[in-house]
Amino acid sequence: MQETKLRSQLAAFGLSEKEVDTYLTLLGLGEAKTSAIADESGVSQRYVYQIAEDLEERGLAIVKDHATPTTIAAVPPEQAVEGLVSRLRSLQPGLESRFTEAATQTASFNVVKSRQTALKEIRRIVNSASEEAFLALPHYAVEKFEEDLEAAFDRGVMIVLHEGAIEPQSPEVAERRFDGLAHVVRQWHHDMSFVATADSTSGIVGGRRLLRNDDNDREAVVVSESHVVGSMFGSFQGGFWAAGEEVYIGEPVSFPASYTMARPTVLNAVLAQLGGRMLQAEVSGYTTDTEESRTVTGRIVEIRQGLVEPFTNSFPVENSLTLETDDGERLTVGGAGAFVEDLRANKTTLRPVE
């Protein structure tokens, strides 16, 4: 390989011009004192030693500072290349996960103009949910999805339902209807626009008359973009959720339970709290101020949320846990977009306190 191309390839791996000069000189010498490398490369002796330490971190050289005088040895090229390849391969899972995440979050907006297509999309959204499904539907549409809701419930999805166009039912009637179908149900006598979301990854929003019949000019929009879907949920929660009446609260999902989202984590925790159960949470994520990776475990001592009465949130989309660790430290934990809490959770596992 021509030296110009070799230098270019080494630069592609992040080596500076002086690091390339030093490394190529070292390869030619095999092993040498810093003074000899400096003379051959034209790089100052003090800088050669600093570069040698950097090359050692990259797996390209060995600094033999136990010897007198200190010598620098080149790692055999085959071994050095294997080390570089191994490092690149270790990056692959993380890079692929980020690539997949970016691909799935590419924004998609589709307009729906027929009742049957809207019902089909709602069913698809419910069936795709893995952690959370939120539905705001008129009474006459809810019964069409009972089997889908039951299947989602059985696989551990947290189901949140706002049923419109119905007078709030008694707790006894609501329990017979929703036991095994949902975890939280509110009812409101007004008909309203419909919304369905799953895991903040896909959702649909549309005019109320579209679900009643096809003889209208209403439309719905199907969305697959996390920020937009999250806004759909947040906007409805802030505008309509509290207007309904809470008619049913179910049992929490069995423990241990792990989540990557804040809302289902907090909802399951508050349902357990209402049942008199104490939980601890193991959280893996990042600090919101310094972006440092951190994993903590602690008892849940406070819950901030606005889905189950009594509401304890200070703003509509607040969903957070306060943990107390064994050493007495208190930390607030939010979801992936948290900014007021101490930690931004990537994964949270809930377990009963023994």
Tokens representing 248?
Answer: 């049913």
| Secondary structure of residue 144 in the 3-state scheme | helix
Q: How many CB atoms lie within 10 A of CB 54?
A: 16
Dump pLDDT digits (tens) for 122-152: 999 999 999 999 999 999 999 999 999 999 9
58: Cα within 13 Å, side-chain hemisphere: 20
Kindly write down the DSSP assignment for every residue of 69-135, as one continuous string: S-EEEEPPHHHHHHHHHHHHHHHHHHHHHHHHHHHHTS--EEEE-SHHHHHHHHHHHHHH-SSEEEE
CA distance 306 to 246: 12
What percentage of the chain exceeds 70 in pLDDT? 94
Task: Give the Å distances, CA to CA, from 256 to 179, 304, 351.
Answer: 21, 21, 5
Tell me if the bond preceding 69 is cis, omega within 30° of 0: yes
Extents of the domains making up the chain = 3-102, 109-249, 257-352
Do 105 and 131 contact (CB within 8 A), yes or no? no
φ/ψ region of 319 (left if φ > 0, alpha if ψ in -120 to 50, else beta) reads beta
**Would you say residue 102 has pLDDT above 70?**
no
Q: What is the DSSP letter of 338?
A: -
CA distance 345 to 333: 7
257-352: CATH topology: SH3 type barrels. (2.30.30)
- The mean-pLDDT minimum among 39-53, 293-307, 310-324 falls in 39-53
**Which pLDDT score is estimated for 236?**
79
Dump pLDDT digits (tens) for 51-86: 988 898 888 999 988 777 889 999 998 888 877 777
CA distance 111 to 108: 10
**Which pLDDT score is estimated for 93?**
72
Q: Which CATH architecture has domain 3-102?
A: Orthogonal Bundle (1.10)
Could you tell me which of 155, 166, 219 has the C-alpha nearest to residue 193?
219
**Which pLDDT score is estimated for 97?**
66
Which CATH number is associated with domain 109-249? 3.30.870.10
Order the strands of the 71-74 sheet from edge to edge: 31-33, 71-74, 61-64
**Would you say residue 107 has pLDDT above 60?**
no
Quick one: pLDDT band at residue 105, thresholds 50, 70, 90?
Answer: low
CA angle 306, 327, 288 (to 5 degrees): 50
Task: Give the Å distances, CA to CA, from 135 to 49, 154, 165, 295, 341.
Answer: 64, 17, 14, 33, 27
What percentage of the chain exceeds 90 in pLDDT? 58
**Which pLDDT score is estimated for 104?**
52
Which residues contact residue 127 at a Cβ distance below 8 angstroms, ignoring those fewer than 6 apart?
A: 148, 151, 152
**Which pLDDT score is estimated for 65?**
81
**Would you say residue 216 has pLDDT above 90?**
no
Quick one: pLDDT band at residue 100, thresholds 50, 70, 90?
Answer: low
Dump pLDDT digits (tens) for 234-260: 777 777 898 899 999 999 999 999 999
**Would you say residue 231 has pLDDT above 60?**
yes
Strand-pair category, 279-287 with 184-187: unpaired
Dump pLDDT digits (tens) for 176-210: 999 999 999 999 999 888 999 999 889 999 988 88
CA R_g for the chain? 29
| Secondary structure of residue 156 in the 3-state scheme | coil
Q: Which run of H or E residues covers position 147?
A: helix 146-154
Task: Give the Å distances, CA to CA, from 228 to 61, 195, 197, 200, 233.
Answer: 50, 13, 11, 8, 9
Task: Give the Å distances, CA to CA, from 113 to 33, 110, 191, 214.
Answer: 77, 10, 19, 8
Q: Comparing 8 with 216, which gets the higher pLDDT?
A: 8
pTM: 0.70
What's the mean per-residue pLDDT of the chain? 88
CA angle 181, 187, 188 (to 5 degrees): 155
Which residues contact residue 131 at a Cβ distance below 8 angstroms, ignoring those fewer than 6 apart?
A: 157, 158, 199, 259, 260, 261, 264
**Which pLDDT score is estimated for 212?**
82
